[in-house]
Amino acid sequence: MKTKLVMLFFIFILFSKPCQAITKCYKDICVGQTVMVSAGIYKGNYAKILDILKERMPDDAMERLQDNYKYFVSFMDGEITYLYRNELKIKE
């Protein structure tokens, strides 16, 4: 009985499909990437992108021209906040 279970386990491993990671990106910034903050309170600090979420579209036509994505970032001291695209610069 034990050998049958072991064989079944190995057959399951052989025929199972491997998982592939999906990278979440918007334009040229992806989750997991390190960026530099170029504006605002955190200017000059490096931050790691944790998530990218789209905000609800505003009703005002003038604001529709802005980038409506929030980039949730984590700083070296552990603080988590969100920033907008115009506040980020890709680390070279």
Domains of the chain: 20-90 (2.30.30.30)
Is the pTM for the entire model greater than 0.85? no
3-57: pLDDT as tens digits: 888 888 777 777 776 665 667 888 888 898 999 999 888 899 999 999 998 877 6
Provide the 8-state DSSP code for 77.
T
Q: Tell me the residue type at 20.
A: Q
